[in-house]
Structures are given as C-alpha cells and as structure tokens.
Structure 1
C-alpha cells in the first residue's frame, strides 16, 4: 500500500464561480464541512501517513486552514499553476519514493473506504496506475458520457461508460519522460495504457461531483440519503 497521498487543491475553481471569487473551491462547504476536509477524511480512514496538498488560487486561505493539522504538507503553486501532472511532479520530494495515492478535492463519497478499496485492488507487479471508477448511475451530478472502458482483467481504454472518480494509485516514475512543465495526468495515463499497465477498480458506494454550485445541493442530498 502506498504511504503517501497527493490531494489536488490548486485549481482555479472557475466552474464554481461566483462562489470562488473570494474563497478557494476546496474550502467550499458541503454539509457543513469544506470539500478539502471531505477528501482528507478518506486519507485519514486509510491511515496514510504522508499527506500533501497543493495550492494556487487563494492558496493563503488553504494554508491557513491546514496550519494546525499535523502531518499535512503544502506544495505551493501560487506563482505558477502546474495542472495535475506537473503538480504531482513538483510534490514528489514531499511525497517520497514509489507509487502514491492521488485524490481530487471537488467530490464527496458516501463512505470513507475509497482509498482502502484501491489499496486492496493494487497489484504493483502489473499496474502502473489504478483508477477508481463508478457506473454513471452512481456518479451523481456527472453529466458526461463516461471516461473509460473496463476490460475483463481490469485494464482500461478510453471512451467507455465508466466514470473516473478522482481517486487513484499511480507510479510517478513515468513523469520523468514528460517534457512539459504544466500538464495533465492524462498524458501519463495514455503512456501507461499503451504499455498495458493502466487499470481500473470499481468503487462500491456512491459519489457526487462538486465542480459547480449546483453540485453542492446534489452532494448534500446524496450524503443525507446514503450515509
């Protein structure tokens, strides 16, 4: 099981405007708790010892929110937003060696088992990345067609009905082959897919996307009826 988690909290939150004009999206509250704390609860439930949170838009507020939380380190992107791939690469000195969990901070889950489920399915001898997925029926507030097709042995390919939840285990070794400074982890997924090392596991609960103001109500209804 990886011993570190990267929580992505550096986005600009443009889809959440105007709520993010004066508050970063990870501090928007759902059911009385900031989105960032919902994400960190998953890491705490999985007993992951090293936690790293990156910051950019209104990052001072996130840093202040975490100031009295022992064991959480900040990867500062306030001068240059690096996207998920560049952000993970910048944070590697804080995360340590080997595969890591990564977790988006703009979603909620109906229980705290997501990272434990990933850990149980992780096979480092076969996998370079393991993405936690949901069927669209359990991906509340998601409006797209899906992200991946899930093969019979768990291998992933693009363009199927399964929805990526924003939680994964990934080996960051392949980041060294990517020359861009700011880039999405999609580039690394594509590389691992070609190698046959991109896999998926299915989360057993429900999940809600909280990328827009409308998503807040959707998430609160989900938590009220499923927890």
Structure 2
C-alpha cells in the first residue's frame, strides 16, 4: 500500500451490549469507557492513525446517546430503524455512505497493542479475496472465553475451527453481500460461504488483543493498555 489509506471504514456500533449488564442500561456499548475514554474512541483512533478519512458507524440501541459523539468526531451515521440488521445487513445498509469497492469493518468492543491492524490489512489485501480477516492466536487474547474461530493454511486461506481468533477487523468486498436476500443477516454466514469456495483469507496480528464485550473485559483491556 502506498499513499493515503485506500478504504472506507465501517464501525459496528449498533448492538444491544447485553453482556455488559448494567453498564449498557443508559448507553450503547461503544460509549462504555475503557481507560477513561469511550470504547468507540479507541476504535476511531486506530482508523485515524492508519490514515482513514471516510468513517461510518451504524447505530440502533439508544442512538441519542451516541449520535452526537459520532458527529463531533466527523463520523457519518447509518441509523438502523425500526429493526437492527446484524453485521451483514448493517454493512449493506451503510453502503451508500461508504461508497464503492472494498470496505474495512471494525468492531468497537476491543483494544489492541502492536502494529496498527488496519494498516496491515490494507497492505495484505489482494484482488480475489472475498474477505481478509485479522486474526490473533488464542494465547495473545485477553478477556476472551472459549476456543478459537479459524485455522489458516500456509497461503493464508481460512477454514472454520482452529486456534486463531477473529479480532473484529477485516476488509470485505461488498459484492459478496449480493447473495443474501434477507435484510437481516450475519457476516458469519458470509465467511462460512466464502470459506467453502476458498475465498476467505486471513493474516495474523503480532500484538495482543482484548475482548471488551463484557465487564471483565474492561479490566483486562485496561491492564493490557497499562503495559504499553
């Protein structure tokens, strides 16, 4: 990759945050603070540090508690109403704001150490990749319960199962969304279908990653950041 960051970024910020319990009674999960700042600001900082200029965030749950914050940071808003559209449907709904071509998607409930994952994805992405996922070995995750998500071949092709955890960052070709007629669908199903035809790829993040989807993850993330 040379020059400016070439992809728009979709920030997933619409979910109900049920695993956060009382912390999301009055705010959406991306506005829960980690190390004194809203989670979504950590994600926005990653994007800006990579050079991304076009950022879009989807909203649904308690939108009035996040929309002013997004607008103050020059983030376009894709409001999902009356129903939440899940990750696949949410991405497709936001495409008019994102523009044509491949899109970075980034979950907003994680923190990272090490090289910028969005820069690494942009450098590794090649034509023909339906989706390119940033993964991390289970041993370098924090606040993460359960097994890994994917295995990776020497050529970088992903298959389901294995030690690698999806970090919530990827580059995806929106053309692959055309096969799904329903308004509400998950990108997880898209990945399964791409993997079946050998079009799902991955790279491995060399740093650490914390899942901040639950209260214990906040403690893990703040400990991780304090060691940087």
Contact 1:45–1:112 under 8 Å retained in 2: no
The aligned counterpart of 1:219 is: 221
Contact 2:115–2:207 under 8 Å retained in 1: no
CA distance in 2 between partners of 1:5 and 1:112 (Å)? 18
Worse-superposed segment, 181-190 or 86-95: 181-190
Equivalent residue of 1:199, what SS? strand
CA distance in 2 between partners of 1:28 and 1:169 (Å)? 26
The aligned counterpart of 2:116 is: 113
Equivalent residue of 1:98, what SS? coil
Post-superposition shift, 1:34?
0.6
The aligned counterpart of 2:20 is: 16
Structure 1: gaps spanning 5 or more residues: none
The aligned counterpart of 2:133 is: 131
Does 2:104 correspond to 1:101?
A: yes
Contact 1:59–1:78 under 8 Å retained in 2: no
Q: Point out 4+ residue stretches in structure 1 off by more than 6 angstroms.
A: none
The aligned counterpart of 2:145 is: 143
Q: Could you say if the C-alpha distance between residues 80 and 2 of structure 1 is closer, same or farther in structure 2, counting changes exceeding 3 Å?
A: farther
Does 2:84 correspond to 1:61?
A: no
Post-superposition shift, 1:80?
1.1
Contact 1:149–1:159 under 8 Å retained in 2: yes
Structural RMSD (CA) = 1.1
Equivalent residue of 2:221, what SS? helix
Pairing of 1:160-171 with structure 2 (within 5 A): 160-171=162-173
Alignment coverage as a number of residue pairs = 224
The aligned counterpart of 2:195 is: 193
1:158-197 deviations in whole A, cap 9, x for unaligned? 0111000000000010111101111100121122112211
Equivalent residue of 1:17, what SS? helix
Post-superposition shift, 1:67?
2.3
TM-score normalised to the size of structure 1?
Answer: 0.96
Contact 2:135–2:202 under 8 Å retained in 1: yes
Contact 2:28–2:65 under 8 Å retained in 1: yes
Equivalent residue of 1:67, what SS? helix
1:98-136 deviations in whole A, cap 9, x for unaligned? 100000001011146110011111112x31110000001
